[in-house]
Structure 1
Amino acid sequence: MGAELNQRLFSAADNLRSKMDASEYKNYLLGLIFYKYLSDKLLVQVVELADESLDTYSTQEKQKELYQELLSDEDTKEDLLATLIDTLGYDIEPAYLFNVLADQAKQNVFQLNDLNKAFIQLSTKYDTFNGLFDDVDLTSKKLGSDDQQRNVTITEVLKKLNDVDVVGYEGDVIGDAYEFLISQFASEAGKKAGEFYTPHMVSDMMARIVAIGQEDKKLFSVFDPTMGSGSLMLNVRHYLNHPDKVKYHGQELNTTTFNLAKMNLILHGVDAEDMNVRNGDTLNKDWPTDEPYTFDSVVMNPPYSAKWSADATFLDDSRFNRYGKLAPKSKADFAFVLHGYYHLKETGTMAIVLPHGVLFRGAAEGTIRKKLLEDGSIYAVIGMPANLFFGTSIPTTVIILKKNRTNRDVLFIDASNDFIKGKNQNKLSKENIEKIIETYKNRAEVEKYAYLANFDEIKENDYNLNIPRYVDTFEEEEPVDMESVGKEIKEVRESKKELEKSLFEAISSLQYSDEDEEWIKGALEVFKND
């Protein structure tokens, strides 16, 4: 069922695909699916609030009629709207319901302006949806050269989407379908995609790690200061025993991506009171500064080696002031590490994906790394395969950090050779992830795969964490059997002689014209000399 839903949703983009880049048309499709979900969910809620059966009101047309009927009665109207706003957090006028607009599309009387009004009404009336539809630009020339062309394009998308049932599923089906679409757009959008999506298998591995030992918490908080589409945060709940009691805190710099994350959280059934997300710059100004500002888990896949201000005033910032130096202007990697670590609870776990350079680069980064190691903050270093992430082929490392440790040892896992080779992207199998998780839990040496280094060893290595210094994956080559090699050479030579002899005989017996005589004699001379 999930696969069919994914495919039907993705095919709705066909009319947009030929017109613009995937990084742009994703905004239209994901925005429209989100609006349809809100609209369809409202109709189902109306039926339930009216104490009616979904068997009786099985079509959206009937559900809409019931909604209109209840709204036309002054006695029920006020109560109904108040209850909808209380339970769902919004209401939508009947004229702006998705199925009403889609019906107009099917009759070719749809007006783009009505959809625009629907977005504006929802966005201005309720803070939760403020700005969420800004990227569904219905005036864009890319949809068509004039209003009529744009109308035709959106009409076709509405017709296709309306046939998809987005609320008639148990659990997270629609949220997972949305996540699937995000991943499809990420693979199509190439380089730009790394900004908003962490491949599912890497996200899954990180989620499992940060949940270890905290599975039974009645209330659990997760924080992603570079949240992209929010998938890293959402994955954590799959490994908790109280998945409905998770609070999500996240920040994202890119406004389009921030809107995508909000939609993704809502589609995964996260209530407004469990969501604390912000559109802003994580490094330049600390957030959150109010309680709670520390969390049970921190998960991050920040932009690699990004530029930041590295202004000297940050040396007084409580996130960075313990480490003596600031991350360099040209490489903000350690600024992200320290920001996330500052917001980690004393009992929590943090997982961050970064390029390998953070493990061995010197200067300011070396100073910060040394302090983290002296404090026992770095718990594990996992080397990942190359070409796992969209937009970059470099191998990455996942660093695990903890607080209040009695030990300062570091577990090194070299998982760089365990992957399924893909045409464009490499992937991790379930077995690959399982091996990493088991090794992480056991925290013991595994030949050519994992090594537990004590602090003195790390100190001897000048606080360099380059994985090959600790995990020896060198495979000795088989010794060469010179006798058999000699025998093979002898056989090749004898075979060559036989071939030359038969070729000489064949050329000698050829009938040839006078003009070819010189060429034939030359060829025969070569064989004689050999």
Structure 2
Amino acid sequence: MNKIDQKDINNAAWAACDTFRGVVDPAQYKDYILVMLFLKYISDVWQDHYEEYQKQYGDDDVRIRRKLERERFVLPIIKLTEKTRGDENNKGVDTLLDEFPATYYSLYERRSAANIGELINIVLDHIEESNKSKLEGVFRNIDFNSEANLGRTKDRNKRLKTLLEDFNKPQLSMKPSLVSEDVIGNTYIYLIERFASDSGKKAGEFFTPLKVTELVAKLAGPKPGDRICDPACGSGGLLIQAAQEVARSAGSAQEGRNFALFGQESNGSTWALCRMNMFLHSFDSARVEWCDTLNSPLLVENDRLMKFNCVVANPPFSLDKWGAESAESDQYNRFWRGVPPKSKGDWAFISHMVETALEKQGRVAVVVPHGVLFRGAAEGRIREKMIEENLLDAVIGLPGNLFPTTNIPVAILVFDRSREKGGVREECKNVFFVDASREFVSGKNMNTLSEAHIGKIMKTYAARAEEEKYAHVAEFVEIKENDFNLNIPRYVDTFEEEEEIDIDAVQVEIDDLEKELVDVRRQMAEKLKQINRGA
């Protein structure tokens, strides 16, 4: 069989969603599709290696099984039994009903079974149990036997049978001999992006647009050897981009794999998607915790927050009820600059990110709504202190309608702890503003950034030079005079003077139009007379 093309596997995977469209909400059926994609992937890898071992060892099943037990994912043998009813002298015996390996292919063979939803759950449970160190908890939020999500038994069985058949298409073979891991990872991201488009506002829980993640990763500038963290990681898109940015900047393939990924996510099903995303991109060692970052962070060591070279995030915008009531007594002292308002958690996430960046060297890049730049009270005081500490490096304004969840324009804040006292950039006392809000590719439902737009932003940021109506270097004194308000139009003047109007020419045009109107009215009157005479 020929190598499988990226476009073919993308289209086949997206077509599998037809099973659920119109009957299950996209925010729900994405989990079923992505879990099935992951199951098919690990089954295909297992099957590919099994066939290789068969060529080497023939029918020596014991030896083959030993080899397979050293695989990246172990797919165990499942034995389904039933206990026969006993009596007072006999407790009964277990009767073997069925025996099969925990793979997609075993489920495909049993796709017409009356309990197919239950069988899929059993396979996932056994895979999770056999791969606890990697997969513990990953499938706990998904139920293929759910009447609430997938309908009553007859309809549910039909949908699951169709789903298994869809994933058996040749275009969805994910054997290493036919398709590279890059293609599989790209398909996963492609599906997440399509689900986000269909899910509307619910997409904010798991998705940041690809071009936005690319820009954030470039602005954070991760390098080989870095520890990289996303404290609101969703399905992991930003972490993947940061990893790819390391590979782009590295001098060798080995250097390009020299980094460590860390994430935290509060939504259980989204956390599971992130874990699978890491595996599909071969980042098996990524540590992704399921927790509430602001109230119970789990990336800690020796009772202190872990520190990172790069911290990136697109946290939920203006999160309400984020935990302000307990912030003053925070055991990690993250909110020493002030406690953000309980109805807006933006600066709570920023405070956490800055505190987890390595002193005198860590970098932070975070997507924020524009209110973060100018809102006063507690937020204004926190903003002022961070600027006075010389931590804020840049404010990048982006266009509106880049997200499926909101059409508001957003900004990226870049903090650099190498600017603080004792850091290598201590002498840099200004903040660089870029207004890229008018540069985008207009789409049917959403706008997007092109490679050229990202390239221009990065080139301008690297040059750190004035550019009329686009970029401005604001010294500390100027920001202080603006009461530490970072609203971009205060620093980058994008006003365009309107073209002067020639009043005389306009009057001539009006006169001509009035003459035409008189002539049209005369012609209409003649037509009406003719109609009346004919009547």
How far has the Cα of 1:316 moved from its partner?
5.4
**Deviation readout 1:313-346 (Å, 9 max, x if unpaired):** 53554443441x2011000100000101111123
Which residue of 162, 167, 173 maps to 1:161?
A: 167
CA distance in 1, matches of 2:181, 2:26: 28
Q: Partner of 1:83: helix, strand, or coil?
A: coil
The match for 2:81 is: none
CA distance in 1, matches of 2:331, 2:115: 54
How far has the Cα of 1:374 moved from its partner?
0.4
In the alignment, structure 1 residue 12 sits paired with structure 2 residue 33 = no
The match for 2:455 is: 434
Which residue of 123, 148, 173 maps to 1:118?
A: 123
The match for 2:341 is: 328
Residue pair 2:229, 2:310 contacting (<8 A) in 1 also: yes
Residue pair 2:395, 2:412 contacting (<8 A) in 1 also: yes
**Deviation readout 1:398-429 (Å, 9 max, x if unpaired):** 11111031222111111111111112111111
How far has the Cα of 1:109 moved from its partner?
8.0
The code of the aligned residue for 2:415 comes to L
Structure with the bigger percentage of helix: 1
C-alpha spacing 1:145/1:321, structure 2 compared with 1 (3 Å): closer
CA distance in 2, matches of 1:110, 1:313: 49
The match for 1:174 is: 184
In the alignment, structure 1 residue 443 sits paired with structure 2 residue 464 = yes
**Deviation readout 1:203-230 (Å, 9 max, x if unpaired):** 011111212xx54x2x222100000000
In the alignment, structure 1 residue 201 sits paired with structure 2 residue 211 = yes
CA distance in 2, matches of 1:280, 1:256: 12
Which residue of 351, 355, 361 maps to 1:338?
A: 351
The match for 1:471 is: 492
CA distance in 2, matches of 1:247, 1:421: 36
C-alpha spacing 1:108/1:137, structure 2 compared with 1 (3 Å): closer
Which range moved further: 401-410 or 297-306? Answer: 401-410
CA distance in 1, matches of 2:139, 2:528: 80
The match for 1:417 is: 438
How far has the Cα of 1:296 moved from its partner?
1.7
CA distance in 1, matches of 2:345, 2:327: 16
CA distance in 2, matches of 1:330, 1:10: 38
Which residue of 375, 385, 402 maps to 2:416?
A: 402
The match for 2:365 is: 351
Percent same amino acid among aligned pairs? 35
Q: Could you list the runs of 5+ residues in structure 1 that have no partner in the other structure?
A: 54-65, 517-530
Q: Partner of 2:110: helix, strand, or coil?
A: helix
Q: Partner of 2:184: helix, strand, or coil?
A: helix
How far has the Cα of 1:151 moved from its partner?
2.2
How far has the Cα of 1:79 moved from its partner?
3.4
C-alpha spacing 1:33/1:316, structure 2 compared with 1 (3 Å): closer
The code of the aligned residue for 1:277 comes to V
The match for 1:80 is: 67
The match for 1:494 is: 515
CA distance in 2, matches of 1:270, 1:17: 31
How far has the Cα of 1:146 moved from its partner?
3.8
The match for 2:135 is: 129
CA distance in 2, matches of 1:327, 1:204: 29
CA distance in 2, matches of 1:305, 1:4: 40
Q: Partner of 1:150: helix, strand, or coil?
A: helix
TM-score between both structures, scaled by the size of structure 1: 0.87
C-alpha spacing 1:449/1:192, structure 2 compared with 1 (3 Å): same
**Aligned pairs (5 A) from 1:247-266:** 247-266=260-279
C-alpha spacing 1:80/1:281, structure 2 compared with 1 (3 Å): same
Residue pair 2:335, 2:348 contacting (<8 A) in 1 also: no
Residue pair 1:415, 1:436 contacting (<8 A) in 2 also: yes
C-alpha spacing 1:421/1:328, structure 2 compared with 1 (3 Å): same
Residue pair 1:186, 1:390 contacting (<8 A) in 2 also: yes
Residue pair 1:384, 1:396 contacting (<8 A) in 2 also: yes
In the alignment, structure 1 residue 365 sits paired with structure 2 residue 371 = no
Residue pair 1:351, 1:400 contacting (<8 A) in 2 also: yes
Which residue of 222, 226, 251 maps to 2:232?
A: 226
Q: Partner of 2:167: helix, strand, or coil?
A: helix
**Deviation readout 1:356-398 (Å, 9 max, x if unpaired):** 0010000000000000000111111111111111111111111
CA distance in 1, matches of 2:532, 2:183: 78
In the alignment, structure 1 residue 389 sits paired with structure 2 residue 376 = no
Q: Could you list the runs of 5+ residues in structure 2 that have no partner in the other structure?
A: 78-99, 420-425
Superposed CA RMSD: 2.2
How far has the Cα of 1:492 moved from its partner?
1.5
In the comparison of the two structures, how many residue pairs are matched?
A: 486
Residue pair 1:377, 1:408 contacting (<8 A) in 2 also: no
The match for 1:525 is: none
C-alpha spacing 1:425/1:319, structure 2 compared with 1 (3 Å): farther
The code of the aligned residue for 1:392 comes to T
Which residue of 90, 104, 109 maps to 2:74?
A: 90
Residue pair 1:410, 1:455 contacting (<8 A) in 2 also: yes
The match for 2:294 is: 283
How far has the Cα of 1:41 moved from its partner?
1.1
CA distance in 1, matches of 2:206, 2:65: 41
The code of the aligned residue for 1:116 comes to N
Which range moved further: 501-510 or 234-243? Answer: 501-510
